[in-house]
Amino acid sequence: MRKDIEFKTEDGTTLRGWHYAPSFGDGRFPTIVMAHGFSAVKELLLDRFAEAFVAAGFAAVVYDHRNLGASDGLPRQHIDPWQQVRDWRDAITYAETLPQTDAQRIGVWGSSYAGAHAMVLGAQDRRVRCVVAQVPLTSGHANFRRLVRADQIVVMQRAFDEDRRRRSRGEPAQLIPVVAPEGQPSALPTPDSYSWMTSRAKEHAPSWRNEVTLQSAELFSEYEPGAYVEFVSPTPLLMVVALDDELAVADEALKTYAKALEPKRLEGIRCGHFDVYDQYFSRSSGAAVSWFIEHL
């Protein structure tokens, strides 16, 4: 059973999403609070994962990050990772109020950029009893330098500085594409990012917009969620890593996993970043379901 929901963050911004609960039973269910990655909206196949969790006996709260999709917030298409983490904590507080939620059994599941947030949440918020980080970003600094050609890094940094000057003058923030054909500037400059985001958005998510503020890319380059991975313990952590990932690069994720303390588990899948949503969905969702069953 799915119904539309909305809730307010601590600063009064309204976030919107879905609440799923099993149709069987009338008690309180362990609940997974879920969100999507960089610029993505919930219609980009998060419903498939939520439905897998519900089939296994969990409830789920799925929502769009502020400034994106159905949620409120300005400026539109602006992505601040730390604000998203704070909002997620407010989403957990909202989930606690639902009569179908067992507040002693709350887990978080995030994918890509939200996989990074899931690790941070596991370290910061002890209401979280279980964490799944799917194809997570683990180091913005390192990943930025893997995605941006060396001779273009200084160019990008100068653009960040000029954008800051524009904003200080009261001018609108500069926007850039999230994805673009190979060779053209974008925030996620890999061929599979362009093909997956554009095709899946056309099929499933008309609210997704192919633009973000330039500052979103700057904040991406400064975000270091992997620094928190040691502090997730004793909360159980599952990392689902796409071993051929060229976006949230796999070797950085594996290095971060090695630093995590027990209890932890690695599900390594020989595929690319976006394959975990499609042809390897059964494997990625199945690993998450098993982890949540074991620990929630």
So what's the pLDDT on residue 183? 86
Low-confidence ranges of the chain (pLDDT < 50): none
Domains and CATH numbers, the chain: 2-139+223-295 (3.40.50.1820)
CA–CA distance, 48 with 282 (Å, rounded to integer): 10
Residue 214 CB: number of other CB atoms within 10 A? 21
pLDDT tens digits, one per residue of 21-69: 998 877 899 999 999 999 999 999 999 999 999 999 999 999 999 999 9
CA–CA distance, 140 with 176 (Å, rounded to integer): 18
- Average pLDDT score over the chain: 97
So what's the pLDDT on residue 132? 99
CA–CA distance, 25 with 235 (Å, rounded to integer): 27
- 287 and 267 Cβ atoms separated by less than 8 Å: yes
So what's the pLDDT on residue 1? 86
- 163 and 214 Cβ atoms separated by less than 8 Å: yes
Question: To which H or E segment does residue 119 belong?
Answer: helix 113-124
For tokens 């009893």, the residue is 129
- 120 and 256 Cβ atoms separated by less than 8 Å: no
Q: Are strands 14-20 and 59-63 parallel, antiparallel or unpaired?
A: antiparallel
b/e for 222-253, b at 16 or more Cβ within 10 A?
ebebbebbeebeebbbbbbbbeebebbbbebb
- 267 and 105 Cβ atoms separated by less than 8 Å: no
Contacts of 101 (CB under 8 A, 6+ apart): 28, 29, 31, 59, 95
So what's the pLDDT on residue 34? 98
So what's the pLDDT on residue 67? 98
pTM over 0.95: yes
- 71 and 14 Cβ atoms separated by less than 8 Å: yes
For tokens 């500037």, the residue is 185
